[in-house]
């Protein structure tokens, strides 16, 4: 199991597509479903959809701290 990407089985579970039909491959049907659902993915050289686990589970890294607003040094002296 990959920590970064969903497995082929997980993509099948997510999309509900486990086999091809109607003259289309399983991968083609999965790509269509992912596009209509708005889930970000890439396709590899074999046409298999590759989905980053973070796209499904949400952000796993701790939230970034908001950046401080830029202020000229003259304003920071307070004198």
pLDDT string in tens for the chain (79-residue length): 568 999 999 999 999 999 999 999 999 999 999 999 999 999 999 999 999 999 988 865 555 667 778 777 776 665 5
Which pTM does this prediction carry? 0.70
Backbone dihedral region for residue 52 (phi beyond 0: left; psi -120 to 50: alpha; all else: beta): beta
What is the structure's pLDDT at 61? 55
37's tokens: 């659902």
- Give residue limits of the domains in the chain: 1-57
Instruction: Tell me the CA distances in angstroms from 20 to 25, 58, 69, 72, one per residue in order.
Output: 4, 29, 53, 62
């Amino acid at each position: 199991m990959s920590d970064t990407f969903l497995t082929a089985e997980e993509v099948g579970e997510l999309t509900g597509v486990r086999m091809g039909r109607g003259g289309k491959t399983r991968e083609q049907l999965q790509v269509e479903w992912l596009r209509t659902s708005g889930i970000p993915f890439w396709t590899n050289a074999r046409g298999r959809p590759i989905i980053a686990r973070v796209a499904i589970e949400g952000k796993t890294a701790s939230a970034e701290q908001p950046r401080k607003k830029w202020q000229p040094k003259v304003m920071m002296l307070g004198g």
